[in-house]
Structure 1
Amino acid sequence: MTFENYSYSKTIDYKTLKMPFGTYYLCEKFFIGELNEGIHFDWKKTELVVQKLIEHYGEKAKIGFISNRINHYSIDPSNWTKIEEKYNLIIASAIVMYNNSTYMNASIEKQFAKRSIKRCMSLQEALDWMLSLKEFH
């Protein structure tokens, strides 16, 4: 389910950021990414998104990230390491999985990240976990 079609989206303020390869929803303490079907999310695309995040949240921001994997696409798992080393922006991430292949990919990505990545079975689970993080209280 897309974030915009989810009931929680009707209860909060957020900004929609449409990119050629996906849509991002910029909430107060975290952002949600929904990438387009069939794309390869490489470092160049990652840097485009990060620059937009810095413009929105500021250079010193500490935010969470929810990857809502509603579509099939590929990602370079080393992006996690590069983001952590270069930007130090994301404090924790959640990956919402809708099938077994997404679970396998998320497990591989989890091995590359130094920060916490939670694998979730629903968008609600990811939101609940993100909003419970002690860094946001």
Structure 2
Amino acid sequence: MYLTESIISTEVKKVHNLKKGTLYVFDNFIVSEFNEGIILDFDCIVEVYHYLNLYSKNKHNFGYISNRIHQYTVKVTDFMKANVLAQKMYPSAVVAYDEASKNTFKFEKQLNNCHAILCDSLENAVVYLTGVLTKVC
């Protein structure tokens, strides 16, 4: 489900249209939706970290949700290289809607020791993430 069709769409504070997708900024997390067929590479990952670092400033807890409404490729080696740019550890969730996306995420997770969890809906990801963020306080 596209974020714009979800019950949380009215809570979006800011939208950033990137070359390869869209970032939706909320009070305590960012949701990404990347375009069909793109390669999520170093430059794109750097851009995501830029916004995560920017919006999480002066906030003890802030998270990230990857809403995988389209099929695309994550360049895992670029993700590992860019990981050092994160100013803190961001609790994360990946929303996958089909078996191919779920299997891709599981493979990515094995390769880079990712701590994100897999969710089957955007709403479940928000519930998970806001629950984790509340426990951090």
* TM-score between both structures, scaled by the size of structure 1: 0.85
Deviation at 1:50, TM superposition (A): 1.7
Q: Cα distance, 1:47 vs. partner?
A: 0.8
User: Residue type matched to 1:22 in 2?
Assistant: G
RMSD (Å), alpha carbons: 2.2
What SS does the corresponding residue of 1:116 show, helix, strand or coil? coil
Could you list the per-position Cα deviations for residues 69-95 of structure 1 after superposition, in whole angstroms to 9, with x for gaps in the alignment?
Answer: 001110112344334433243422111
Percent same amino acid at aligned positions? 27
Aligned to 1:9: 9
Instruction: Say which structure, 1 or 2, has more relative contact order (CA 8 Å, 6+ apart).
Output: 2
Matches within 5 A, 1:1-137: 1-10=1-10, 12-58=11-57, 62-114=61-113, 116-133=115-132, 134-135=135-136, 137=137
- CA 1:24–1:13: 2 relative to 1, 3 Å: closer
Q: Could you tell me the TM-score, scaled by structure 2's length?
A: 0.85
SS of residue in 1 equivalent to 2:71: coil
Pairs aligned (count): 135
Tell me which stretches of 4 or more aligned residues in structure 1 moved more than 6 Å: none
CA distance in 2, matches of 1:114, 1:61: 23
Distance 1:119 1:18 in 2: 25
Unaligned runs of 5+ in 2: none
